[in-house]
Amino acid sequence: MSEPITPPTAEQDDPGQPPKAWLRPDGSVIACTEKILVLNENFLELKQLAQDALDDALLMGCSEAQVRAVYRALFDGLKGSFPERQD
């Protein structure tokens, strides 16, 4: 079972940017440049999609707190399609 992700603190990465390092389940750093590029691109695409969805909801009169809670629950409910690799 994977460890829970802790929210960023002052000592951690900026939550609006990809992390400085992507980690394997054992805590070691992903070093492959191509993997890092894909992970960072996915992060930025998700960030923009989430921003657009939040903005749309606010323009339509939704409660920001509710929208954030619903999207947080959506993301927390996602299940990986593959098991974590242990290599």
What average pLDDT does range 3-32 have in this prediction?
77
Give per-residue pLDDT as tens, 26-85. 999 999 999 999 999 999 999 999 999 999 999 999 999 999 999 999 999 999 999 998
Report the distance separating Cα 19 and Cα 12, nearest Å: 8
Cα angle, residue 48 at apex, residues 20 and 37 outer, rounded to 5°: 40
pLDDT of residue 86: 82
0.75 exceeded by pTM: yes
The answer, yes or no, to whether residue 5 has pLDDT greater than 70, is no
